[in-house]
């Protein structure tokens, strides 16, 4: 099903819900489309390890997987980490929400906050609601991960709302968005094109077929991403 980009984002209720299909594969075939800042103190757990603060970074090397089209990555974790874990994530994917609620907290405590890995939550939009959430998150700057986490934690609420667009705005308000700023972000063609570029690259270059999909140092993780399987893969590379 083809949609006009501006109509999709501004229309609201039914248009958004109509694009949310069962499962977590891609939901349509629409062919649309820095500086590094680190904290000086990594905290009690990480000692003197320098951590990213959510700002965008330059690619860490020349490998295609580390050179996303569209938006630059906003990592968390160790600036000098030897292991990079990339998650292609969709805010409307229930499997993504489950990962962020059940696995991510342990991963963050053991590997991200200690600086042992570099973690990247990279956008993959499956539908118009994903677009809205990612636009809000990206426009939030260094709060990107906090915004994404908020939408993951409340996925059932805003996705099942009579007006999901309004429900998305209500969460955005928690991060300082006014109605005017929200409307401005959702009609930003450059942001839309960037997200579409990221989607097309993931499909065309990295063979992504669903979310969440994980890459560890460029190698796609096969099977379920439990804390145990991720720990095993990460530890084998440290």
For the segment 178-189, what is each residue's pLDDT rounded down to a tens digit?
A: 999 999 999 999
Q: Is residue 216 part of a domain?
A: yes
Q: C-alpha dihedral over 193, 100, 95, 205, to 10 degrees? A: 40
Q: Which residues contact 61 (CB under 8 A, 6 or more apart)?
A: none
**Residue 47's Cα: distance from chain center in Å?**
27
Looking at the structure of the chain, the number of domains it has is 1
Q: Is residue 2 part of a domain?
A: no
- What 3-state class would DSSP assign to 209? coil
The DSSP secondary-structure symbol of 71 reads S
Q: Is residue 14 part of a domain?
A: no
Taking only the tens place, the pLDDT of each residue in 5-28 is: 443 444 443 333 333 333 344 444
Strands (E), the chain: 38-39, 51-52, 76-77, 83-89, 117-123, 213-216, 219-220
For a pLDDT cut of 90, what percent of the chain falls above it?
Answer: 76
User: Residue 52 is part of a domain; what is its CATH number?
Assistant: 3.40.30.10
Taking only the tens place, the pLDDT of each residue in 24-80 is: 444 443 323 233 334 444 444 445 899 999 999 999 999 999 999 999 999 999 999
Q: Is residue 53 part of a domain?
A: yes
Q: Is residue 13 part of a domain?
A: no
What distances in angstroms separate CA 128 from CA 10, 28, 73, one per listed residue? Answer: 10, 10, 21
Q: Is residue 162 part of a domain?
A: yes
Q: Is residue 23 part of a domain?
A: no
**pTM for the structure as a whole:** 0.82
Q: Is residue 74 part of a domain?
A: yes
Contact 127, 16 (CB under 8 A): yes
Q: What is the C-alpha separation between 165 and 38, in angstroms, rounded?
A: 34
Task: State which residues form the domain around 81.
Answer: 34-235
């Amino acid at each position: 099903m083809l949609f006009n980009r501006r109509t999709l984002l501004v229309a609201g209720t039914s248009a958004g819900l109509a694009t949310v299909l069962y499962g977590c594969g891609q939901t349509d075939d629409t062919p649309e489309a820095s500086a590094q800042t680190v904290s000086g103190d990594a905290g009690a757990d990480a000692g003197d390890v320098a951590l990213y603060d959510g700002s965008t970074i330059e690619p860490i090397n020349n490998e295609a997987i580390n050179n996303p089209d569209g938006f630059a990555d906003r990592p968390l974790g160790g600036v000098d980490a030897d292991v990079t874990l990339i998650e292609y994530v969709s805010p409307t994917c229930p499997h993504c929400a489950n990962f962020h609620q059940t696995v991510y907290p342990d991963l963050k405590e053991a590997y991200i906050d200690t600086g042992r890995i570099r973690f990247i939550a990279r956008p993959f939009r499956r539908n118009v609601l994903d677009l809205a959430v990612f636009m809000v998150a990206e426009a939030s700057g260094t709060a990107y991960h906090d915004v994404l986490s908020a939408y993951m934690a409340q996925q059932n609420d805003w996705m099942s709302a009579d007006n999901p667009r309004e429900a998305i705005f209500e969460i955005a308000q928690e991060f300082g968005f006014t109605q005017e700023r929200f409307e401005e972000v959702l009609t930003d063609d450059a942001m839309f094109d960037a997200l579409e570029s990221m989607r097309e690259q993931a499909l065309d270059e990295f063979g992504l077929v669903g979310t969440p999909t994980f890459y560890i140092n460029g190698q796609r993780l096969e099977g379920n991403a439990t804390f145990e399987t991720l720990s095993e893969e990460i530890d084998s590379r440290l």
